[in-house]
Chain A
Amino acid sequence: MALIGAALLFLSACGGDDTANSTDGATSDLSGPLTVFAAASLTDVFIELGETFMAQNPGIEVRFNFGPSSGLSRQINEGAPADVFASANISQMAVVSEAGNADGEPTVFVENVLQIAAPAGNPAGITGIADFANADLTLAICAPEVPCGVAAATVFEAAGITPSVDSLEEDVRAALTKVELGEVDAALVYVTDVIAAGSAVEGIDFPETLEAVTSYPIVTLSAAPNPDAGQLFVEFILSEVGTAALEEAGFRSP
């Protein structure tokens, strides 16, 4: 089924012919802009899925606002006109839910874990999480105020390590940038970031990472300007097409 669906999507995307859409049950009569607030770590895969979704629903124009989940939750609670919120952690979703801005129960659609990122070729010879206690290395992790920093603290505790780092980055992308530039010997980022960075970055696995699994919940918002399209987008992300693309980007299914 998924294959057929994907094939139909592919055909409709290529052919530009709308007739294929009306047969697969998608409510393609929905239209207008659809605003999705999504965690920064979802950037690449959501843009890709957004293209597919728009090919499937030609009337809908998906607009993304990517950023740290905490910033997005704040913007939503301040009244930003968003239809869907995909958070990189449960707690920031709770911030939105508790303010009464989530429409129904959020669904966890993927999980993510940390991985050590080193510049290509791993010049400092990083082998595992224990290297983060080495004061001679230049190391970066996320700040304790942001989710990837909380996850980092959890894995350090699980590994029984007192980290000696040079910078507490404001978000995971900032940590990754410093790895890509070769300015740090290693950083703790999400496995999906390592995959997204391509050949500039090398990922190093470590067992304690499973102690800090990050769940990504998604929900439509109660003040959504386009709630039906929002619901359709959430269903699309939870569909097999969505799951397949997310797994390819390195996310784990919950």
Chain B
Amino acid sequence: MTDPGFLEDPEATAAPTRPRPGRRTLARRSARTGTRIPLALLLPAIIGTAILVLPLVGLLIRAPWSDLLVRLAEPEVGQALRLSLITASMATVVSMFFGIPIAWVLARSNIRGRSILRALVTVPLVLPPVVGGVALFLVLGRRGIIGSWLYETFGFSLPFTTAAVVIAETFVAMPFLIISVEGALRAADARFEDAAATLGAGGWSTFRRVTLPLVAPGIAAGAVLCWARALGEFGATITFAGNFPGSTQTMPLAVYLALQNDPQAAIVLSLVLLAVSLATLTLLRERWLTRA
């Protein structure tokens, strides 16, 4: 679902250790003139690519192309697509707001229990999303630990709302951002931050003026992963937010339900989601690269 080219970019995955102008062109050139790929790497790379790409080829072959435009014109499809894009983007923003500070704490601070914290915040990666959805109910549902207070005090119930979709997607996708940003922070040269500190910059100022620009590519890569994961989220969403067209039915939910009685429609919907996400990532990449 993510654009591999985007992540392949050396600056996207590993933060620059020496962010000086001209480094990009150097990196580009060395990648291009790179010598022969060793066979021991080439073979697994080819097979690995096949594993990732062949299912997509299957979708493309079985797709009822003649139906594609008709399906696209259906209001339900547009509705689900719009909801998916909005909620995934909101989940990414929320994940960045909370996830970047978590990543900073994991990479830079030396508070005790850091490894436990890291394990805890990555739990959603291994938890089956449906279980994650039930867990969200237990905390935020109208009988949940926090949710019951919300419900009794304000008469507000979170499940079955668009906000619940964003929460479910954030729960599942934020770990991807945290891990990416933490990796970028660890790879970044902390001496720049030390220098800023010796020059009198406070902690917040150093973070904002030095650390953030330094790991911006890592944050961008993490945000893309996070967005892609949120866009494809199914289990936690359908459990915690339910499924109702217009308010909580995102594309993956529409795809799953279409699969129940109309597999052809499900393929078309999957391709629509795929095309839109690829187009979005490509466009973002263009803008991001030309701006940088």
Residues of A within 8 A of B (CB): 68, 70-71, 74, 138, 140, 143, 145-146, 165-170, 174, 177-178, 181-183
Quick one: which of B157, B239, B243, B259 contacts A168, CB cutoff 8 A?
Answer: B243
Could you mark each residue 246-264 of chain B with 1 if its beta carbon is under 8 Å from any beta carbon of chain A, else 0? 0011000100111111110
B175 interfacial contact with A, CB 8 Å: no
- Could you say which residues of chain B place their CB within 8 Å of the CB of A166? 160, 242, 244
With A167-B242, A170-B243 in contact, do A145 and B142 touch (Cβ < 8 Å)? Answer: no
6 contacts between A and B (CB under 8 A): A145-B261, A168-B249, A170-B260, A178-B242, A182-B142, A182-B143
Contact yes or no, A140 B242, CB < 8 A: yes
Min CB gap A103→B, angstroms: 24
Residues of B within 8 A of A (CB): 134, 137-138, 141-143, 157, 159-160, 238-239, 242-245, 248-249, 253, 256-263
Min CB gap A185→B, angstroms: 10
- Could you say which residues of chain B place their CB within 8 Å of the CB of A168? 242-245, 249, 257
Min CB gap B10→A, angstroms: 41
Contact yes or no, A167 B244, CB < 8 A: yes
Min CB gap A21→B, angstroms: 40
With A167-B248, A168-B244 in contact, do A181 and B238 touch (Cβ < 8 Å)? Answer: no
Min CB gap A124→B, angstroms: 12
- Could you say which residues of chain B place their CB within 8 Å of the CB of A70? 259-261
Kindly report which residue of chain B lies nearest to residue A171, judged by CB atoms.
B260
Complex Cα distance, B59 from A117, in Å, reads 39
Contact yes or no, A169 B143, CB < 8 A: no
Complex Cα distance, B262 from A168, in Å, reads 17
With A138-B157, A168-B243 in contact, do A68 and B260 touch (Cβ < 8 Å)? Answer: yes
Kindly report which residue of chain A lies nearest to residue B249, judged by CB atoms.
A168
Contact yes or no, A183 B258, CB < 8 A: no
Contact yes or no, A74 B258, CB < 8 A: no
Complex Cα distance, B20 from A79, in Å, reads 58
Complex Cα distance, B237 from A174, in Å, reads 12
Interface centre among A165, A168, A169, by most B CB within 10 Å?
Answer: A168
With A138-B160, A174-B238 in contact, do A169 and B243 touch (Cβ < 8 Å)? Answer: yes
Contact yes or no, A145 B238, CB < 8 A: no
Complex Cα distance, B246 from A165, in Å, reads 13
Min CB gap B161→A, angstroms: 9
Min CB gap A155→B, angstroms: 19
Contact yes or no, A181 B141, CB < 8 A: yes
Complex Cα distance, B248 from A166, in Å, reads 9
Kindly report which residue of chain B lies nearest to residue A166, judged by CB atoms.
B160
Complex Cα distance, B143 from A182, in Å, reads 7
Contact yes or no, B260 A181, CB < 8 A: no
- Could you say which residues of chain B place their CB within 8 Å of the CB of A71? 259-260
Contact yes or no, A170 B142, CB < 8 A: no
- Could you say which residues of chain B place their CB within 8 Å of the CB of A140? 242
